[in-house]
Amino acid sequence: MSIIINKSPDVLSSEITPKSVYLDRRKFMQQSIAASLLLSADAMLPAWAKNTAKWQSLQKSPLSTSDTVNSLEDITSYNNFYEFGTGKEDPHKNATAFNPHPWSITVEGECSKTGVYDLEDFIKPDALEERIYRLRCVEGWSMVIPWVGFSLADMLKKFEPNSKAKYVEFTTLLDKSRMPGQQRRVLHWPYVEGLRIDEAMNELPIMALGLYGDVLPNQNGAPIRLVVPWKYGFKSIKSIVKIRFSETQPVTTWNRTAPAEYGFYSNVNPTVDHPRWSQKKERVIGQPFWKPKRETQMFNGYSDQVAHLYRGMDLRENF
């Protein structure tokens, strides 16, 4: 297993999340409207979502970055989740009434074990771990988030994909009554994303159920989302209800909406500019406004783990 070792940037002690906040579930809940609603509705949650105290003592994965983690406030109040609005603060405001329980995921396509699975079927406490990953968004900002989740590859293997399974497609819930942003035609709904099968089977991608030692707040993709740390944030699809194994490349939402701007691969690549802005630098959310932007790293700093997946490919053509 490869281990990511990165130097932490210069950060004031006042900018680092206090350990007491990190470890205290009650303080965690108090800092987010959506999370506090989850606390008040504890009796409505399934058993796995209630019993999260042990998540706070999970061992940190050796795949984690050593970069300073963003505050809970940063992570839960500055979001891209168009199903709840296009503004960065919209998901925090508009997702409070969303109830992600119960939840099921449909598995289709080129695999032996298709069917409809309850979310609880995926929750194996012994397989959960904390992975601190960078999130780099195509708009030019970044965060570092302590996710709680499990290996995407391990989950996909259980469905026994066959030799025709060249890609994996993921689909977000479509429910205009619960996701008010879907009432606007800003994107083609439902939201669809995809990975090549070898990307999906890499050691880095996870299915996240929580962050900061507790269940995912609604605005961050409750109850289950994908995290692919070397790709731009929109590839890490939220609130997943369907997984499909396919022989052909999926038609993904942003690639369908603006194919000249958003390619299927969407790897973090500072040498390939977005048509309307440069990707060479990034703004770290939570740092003082007067701090300069930092240089964007190839594959978001995860080259050792994923560069081999694209050997021989023209990454300007396959952007």
Tens-place pLDDT, residues 190-241: 999 999 999 999 999 999 999 999 999 999 999 999 999 999 999 999 999 9
**pLDDT value of position 88:** 97
Band of residue 45 on the pLDDT scale cut at 50, 70, 90 = confident
User: Residues 80, 134: contact at Cβ < 8 Å?
Assistant: no
pLDDT top residue among 253 and 125: 253
Average pLDDT over residues 7-18: 44
13-310 CATH pick, 3.20.20.70, 2.40.30.170, 3.40.50.360, 3.90.420.10: 3.90.420.10
47-76: pLDDT as tens digits: 788 778 888 889 899 999 999 999 999 999
d(CA 66, CA 263): 29
Q: Write down the pLDDT at residue 126.
A: 84
pLDDT tens digit string along 110-146? Answer: 999 999 999 999 888 888 999 999 999 999 999 999 9
Residue showing tokens 């299927």 = 264
Q: What is the pLDDT of residue 51?
A: 74
pLDDT of residue 19: 45
| Distance, CA of 15 to CA of 23 (rounded, Å) | 17
pLDDT of 18 higher than 80: no
Can you give the pLDDT at residue 5? 42
What is the per-residue pLDDT for 282?
A: 97
Residue 262: phi, psi to the nearest 5?
Answer: -130, 100
Measuring CA to CA, how many Å separate 197 from each of 160, 161, 200, 278, 317?
A: 12, 9, 5, 29, 20
Domain extents in the chain: 13-310
pLDDT of residue 57: 84
- Termini Cα distance of the chain: 27
Q: CA of 118: how far to CAs of 28, 45, 98, 176, 308, in Å?
A: 27, 14, 18, 22, 35
Q: Which residue in this structure is represented by tokens 């932490």?
A: 8
How large is the average pLDDT for residues 31-46? 54
Structure tokens at 120: 């609880």
Say yes or no to pLDDT of 11 above 50.
Answer: no
- Residue 7's pLDDT is 42
Q: What is residue 52's predicted lDDT score, i.e. its pLDDT? A: 83
The pTM for the full model equals 0.87
pLDDT value of residue 103:
96
Given the structure tokens 């959506």, which residue do they identify? 34
